Structure 1
Amino acid sequence: MEGERGTLLAARTMIPFAGGPHFREGGILVREGRVVGVGGLEELRREYPDVPVRHFGERTIIPGAVNAHAHLGFRREDRPEGGSFSRWLGELIERLPEKETWTAEAARASAREAIEAGTTFMAESSPYGECLPQLAESGMAGFVYAEFFPGDFPDSTPEERVRAIVERVRELREGLPERVEAHVSVHAPYTVDPESSRLAARRTRELGWRLAIHLSESPEEVEFVRDGTGGLANIFGRNDWGGVGLSPVRYAERVELLAPHTIAAHLATGVSEEDVAVLARTGVAAAHCPRSNEYLGCGVSPVPRMMASGVRVGVGTDGLWSSPSMNLFEETLAAVRLHGFDGVLGLRLATYEGARALGVEGETGSLEAGKWADLAVVDVSPGEGVDPVREVLEAAAGGGVVATAVGGRFLHDRSGA
Structure 2
Amino acid sequence: MPSAPRSTTGASSPASLRRTSRVQPPEFPVIYAADLVLPVGTPPVERGAVVVDRDGRIAGVGPVEEISRANAGVEVREFRGCTIIPGGINAHAHLGFRRGDEPPGGSFAGWLSVLIERLPEKEAWTEEAARNSAREALETGTTYIAESSPYGECLKPLAESGLAGVVFAEFFPHEIGPPEEAVEYIFNRTRELKRGLPERVSVEVSVHSPYTVDPESSRLAARRSREAGERLAIHLSESPEEVEFVQKGTGGLANIFARNEWGGAGVSPVKYAERIELLGPGTIAAHLATGVSDEDLEILARTGTAAAHCPRSNEYLGCGVSPVPRMLERRIPVGMGTDGLWSSPSMNLFEETLTAVQKHGFGGETGLRLATLGGAEALRMQDEIGSITPGKWADLAVVEAGGGGEPSREVLEAAADGGVVATVVGGRLLYSR
Coarse TM-score class (shorter-chain normalised): over 0.9
Amino acid of the structure 1 residue aligned with 2:408 = V
1:97 aligned residue: 120
What whole-Å deviation, never above 9, does each CA across 1:266-324 have from its counterpart, x for those lacking one? 00000000000000000010000000000000000000101111110000000000000
Q: List alignment gaps of at least 5 residues for structure 1.
A: none
What is the aligned partner in structure 2 of residue 410 from structure 1?
A: 429
* Equivalent runs, 1:113-262 vs 2, <5 Å: 113-153=136-176, 156-262=177-283
Give 1:77-92 correspondences, 5 Å limit.
77-92=100-115
Which of 393, 396, 407 in structure 2 is aligned with 1:388?
407
Shift of 1:49: 2.3
Match for 1:301 among 316, 322, 346? 322
Counterpart secondary structure, 2:77: strand
Which of 130, 149, 153 is the aligned partner of 1:107?
130
- TM-superposed CA distance for 1:410, in Å, is 1.2
Per-residue deviation, 1:50: 2.3
Give the equivalent residue in structure 2 for 1:22.
44
Query: Which blocks of at least 5 consecutive residues in structure 2 are unaligned?
Result: 1-25
The counterpart of 1:37, out of the listed 57, 60, 65, is: 60
Residue of structure 1 in register with 2:88 after alignment: 65
The one-letter code matched in structure 1 to 2:412 is L
Alpha-carbon distance in 1 for matches of 2:58, 2:223: 36
Shift of 1:46: 2.2
| Structure 1 contact 149–191 (Cα < 8 Å) conserved | yes
Deviation at 1:238, TM superposition (A): 2.3
Query: Per-residue CA shift, 1:62-99, capped at 9, x if unaligned?
Result: 10000000000000110000000000000000000000
Per the alignment, in what secondary structure is the counterpart of residue 80 of structure 2?
coil
1:31 deviates by 1.4
Question: Amino acid of the residue matched to residue 102 of structure 2?
Answer: R
Number of aligned residues? 407
CA distance in 2, matches of 1:256, 1:36: 41
CA displacement at 1:407 relative to structure 2: 0.2
User: For the aligned residues, what is the CA RMSD?
Assistant: 1.0
1:361 matched to 2:389: no
Letter in 2 for 1:98: E
Query: Aligned partners of 2:75 and 2:321: how far apart in 1?
Result: 48
Partner in structure 1 of residue 289 of structure 2? 268
**Deviations along 1:314-367, whole A, 9 cap, x unmatched?**
000000000000000000000000100000010000001101100111111111
Task: Select 1:334's aligned residue among 355, 358, 365.
Answer: 355
1:142-176 per-position Cα deviation (integer Å, ceiling 9, x unaligned):
100000001112xx221111000110010111111
Runs of 4+ in 1 over 3 A off after TM superposition: none
SS at structure 2 position matched to 1:225: helix
Match of 1:12 in 2: 35
Q: Secondary structure at the match of 1:67?
A: strand
**Which residue number corresponds to residue 345 of structure 1?**
366
1:56 alignment counterpart:
79
In structure 2, what is the equivalent of residue 374 of structure 1? 395
- Give the Å deviation of 1:141: 0.4
The alignment partner of 1:366 has SS state of coil
The residue identity in structure 1 corresponding to 2:121 is E
Letter in 2 for 1:31: D
Question: 2 CA distance for matches of 1:147 and 1:6?
Answer: 39
Q: Given that residues 4 and 31 in structure 1 are in contact (C-alpha distance below 8 angstroms), is that contact kept between their aligned partners in structure 2?
A: no
Structure-2 residue corresponding to 1:76:
99
Structure 1 distance, partners of 2:73, 2:361, is 46
- C-alpha deviation, 1:42, in angstroms: 1.3
1:4 CA drift (Å): 8.0
With the length of structure 2 as denominator, give the TM-score of the two structures: 0.93
In the alignment, the residues of structure 1 paired with residue 392 and residue 368 of structure 2 have an alpha-carbon distance, to the nearest angstrom, of 18
Equivalent residue letter for 2:216:
E
Distance 1:57 1:352 in 2: 25
Mapped partners of 2:131, 2:28: distance in 1? 34
Distance 1:53 1:100 in 2: 45
Give the residue type in structure 1 aligned to 2:391. G
Over 3 Å counting, the alpha-carbon distance change for 1:123 and 1:4 in structure 2 is closer
Alignment correspondent of 1:321: 342
Partner Cα separation in structure 1 for residue 153 and residue 300 of structure 2: 29
The answer on whether the counterparts of 1:151 and 1:237 sit within 8 Å (CA) in structure 2 is no
Shift of 1:208: 1.4
Quickly say closer, same or farther: Cα 1:78–1:5, change in 2 above 3 A: closer
Q: How far 1:5 moved relative to its partner?
A: 6.4
Q: Secondary structure at the match of 2:423?
A: strand
